[in-house]
Amino acid sequence: MSAGGFPDDGASASFETADAFLAQSHLFHLGGLTTERQHPQTMHLSEWAAADLPHALAVVQQCELAALDAMMQYGEELETLRAKVQAALAEGRNIFLGGCGATGRLAITLEFLWREAAMAGGRRHALERVHGFTAGGDLALVRSVESFEDHPAFGARQLDGLGFTAQDLMIGITEGGETPFVIGAVEHAARFSEVPPSFVFCNPVSDLALEVVRSKRVFENPHIDSLSVCVGPMLLSGSTRMEASTALMLAVGMALLGEEQGEPVVRRLRALRTAVERTDFAALAPFVEREAQAFGARDHILYESRDYAITILTDTTERHPTFNIAAFENVQDEDAPLSEAYFVFPGTRTPQESWHALLARPPRALDWNGYETRVGLARLYGYDFSENARARRRRLAPPGTRVHPFVIARESDSLAWNLDELRLRVPIAGLTPLLQHVLLKILLNTHSTLMMGRCGRYQGNVMTWVRPTNGKLIDRAIRYVQHLLNTYSTSRRSYEEICHELFAAMQSLTPQDSVVLKTYERLTGTALKSPEHPGTAKEARA
């Protein structure tokens, strides 16, 4: 079992007991950081998602626009990063992009976009100039491996394993600016690289330097260039897969792919902002409602795409740790439940072919001694996104279960969404491939977040169903219990008391339980339940 009482899904437990965590909890007290605070405009997001979806969509759109506006303030710093990256490429250096969780997935996405651009431009010689990696290897693109995040040595080891040399440039990407894995990779690069690595994040330097010793160490290192792109708190508290990872994907992506467009960074940001502002977010409502209904009825959604596969997989993967829903199942696990959503890359016939199409290269797994069964290549190929997945799902789905195809594709100058009989077309004329993927990311994040809100998977804007599988997430779960106690109860408990109850709750946790809500119940003797949300089980059964 992994930390949190969940089945071992490729992540080893970092903390087996409350006392073991509390002995190191000072390393993970992150509640004061901007990216961990509650967004003041979305305190009632779950209620709006359930009862007033048009209002929820309008608020989310405004939050996304505000984050893009905040990015405009960093035009000069973003141009500096672009100049540094383009100079490194001109000098024949390779670029290594490293992250963890959402930022690791965006690093792999940016490598994919680089390879696509190189192929389209007839520059096959440049395909291997950019390497994106995430904690846990390519398998972590589709199945979270959070406990790798707590180990700086793993970051250094993965960087070395990719062939990093003293002539290369490393860019560490971390939403919070405190991830040990990314810090380990960046500090390792700083020790011997000719070019100072860059460390890109979304919290104020002053806050991190005050609260996180390991981050302060990075800022004080003269051989590391730090760049903060702070866009405010997340619209779903702590869910840095949203605005923070969007900002970082833009910052690093425009630096890497900037030479192609040859126009100022801020101008391209304005083009994206205009596209977001002109998009009819209200048109997402039927899709949110339909997938929420499918979730409640225990039907399955089968996402399909050739054009935007990697961005779709990123969003669907990140629902698992954020909302504690079933992760993508591995075909090697005979008893694994089918996930509510899965993905198929149309036209591919084998796992190997689907992964190559997904990444535009062969996958890179970690066949480290002792870790092969968790993150090795054989394990990776157990996630089969070929046409086999379609047939397997229809064969194994319980009787009466519907499989709903959700196809997302580029049609002329539009992003086309097709779910059952539902149709949506979003204009993308004039947007570069990077900006198309970012726009789709924003729309998918909006869709999945509000869909999960309708299904009761968070309270207000607090992730009550978070899976505490590493130090940061354990701290987050404790803080969320504390928030619920302050909001709904007269009981006041210390951080240490809540921690012990949290770990006790983990011992009898089932996949149908929220560890935050269960801990709250243990402390108060009262169950705190979300209201019956439309579009979930009750409506679907009617």
Residue 293 has pLDDT above 80, yes or no: yes
Best CA proximity match to 519, nearest among 461, 470, 473, 465:
465
Phi-psi region of 430 (alpha: psi -120 to 50; beta: other; left: phi over 0): left
Q: How far apart are CA 195 and CA 193, in angstroms?
A: 5
Helix (H) or strand (E) segment spanning residue 410 = strand 403-411
Residue 468 has pLDDT above 90, yes or no: no
Distances (CA, A) of 233 to 199, 299, 330, 448, 472: 20, 34, 34, 19, 16
Distances (CA, A) of 25 to 389, 475, 517: 42, 7, 21
Report the mean per-residue pLDDT for the chain. Answer: 91
Amino acid identity, position 228: S
- Give the 3-state secondary structure percentages of the chain, helix then strand then coil, rounded to 5: 55, 10, 35
**pLDDT tens digits for 178-211?**
999 999 999 999 999 999 999 999 999 999 998 8
What DSSP assignment string belongs to 112-163?
A: HHHHHHHHHTT-GGGGGGEEEEETT-GGGGTS--GGGGG-HHHHHHHHHHTT
Question: Which CATH class name applies to 66-277?
Answer: alpha beta
Q: What is the 3-state secondary structure (H, E, C) of 313-381?
A: HHHHHHHHHHHCCCCCCCCCCCCCCCCCEEEECCCCCCHHHHHHHHHCCCCCCCCCCCCHHHHCHHHHC
pLDDT for the residue numbered 29 = 87
Distances (CA, A) of 387 to 302, 326, 356: 11, 21, 14
Helix (H) or strand (E) segment spanning residue 173 = strand 169-173
**pLDDT tens digits for 402-457?**
999 999 999 999 999 999 999 999 999 999 999 999 999 999 999 999 999 999 99
Q: How confident is the model at residue 466 (pLDDT cuts 50, 70, 90)?
A: confident
**Cα angle value 403/407/408 (rounded, 5°):** 150
Q: How far apart are CA 299 and CA 384, in angstroms?
A: 20
Tokens 């594709």 sit on residue: 409
Q: How confident is the model at residue 12 (pLDDT cuts 50, 70, 90)?
A: very low
Instruction: Quote the radius of gyration of the chain (alpha carbons, Å).
Output: 22
Q: How far apart are CA 509 and CA 465, in angstroms?
A: 12
What DSSP assignment string belongs to 279-311?
A: S-GGGGHHHHHHHHHHHHTT-EEEEE-SSSHHH
pLDDT for the residue numbered 27 = 85
The CATH 3.40.50.10490 domain(s) of the chain lie at: 66-277
Helices (H) and strands (E) in the chain, counts: 22, 10
Q: What is the mean pLDDT of residues 470-481?
A: 90
Contact 185, 149 (CB under 8 A): no
**pLDDT tens digits for 517-534?**
999 999 999 988 654 444
Q: What is the mean pLDDT of residues 72-88?
A: 96
Residues contacting 214, CB < 8 A, separation 6+? 27, 152, 178, 180, 183
Determine what percent of the chain is predicted with pLDDT higher than 70.
94
Q: How far apart are CA 287 and CA 506, in angstroms?
A: 34
What is the bridge-based pairing of β-strands 414-419 and 403-411?
antiparallel
Best CA proximity match to 405, nearest among 291, 319, 325:
291
pLDDT for the residue numbered 528 = 82
Q: How far apart are CA 133 and CA 483, in angstroms?
A: 35
Q: How far apart are CA 98 and CA 158, in angstroms?
A: 9
Residue 495 has pLDDT above 80, yes or no: yes
Looking at the chain, how many residues does it have? 542
Distances (CA, A) of 310 to 3, 112, 138, 294: 28, 8, 12, 23
Residue 7 has pLDDT above 80, yes or no: no
Q: How far apart are CA 527 and CA 495, in angstroms?
A: 20
Top pLDDT among 491 and 157 is at: 157
Amino acid identity, position 508: S
Q: How far apart are CA 241 and CA 259, in angstroms?
A: 27
Amino acid identity, position 239: S
Tokens 């894995």 sit on residue: 181
**pLDDT tens digits for 321-336?**
899 888 999 999 988 8
pLDDT for the residue numbered 10 = 30
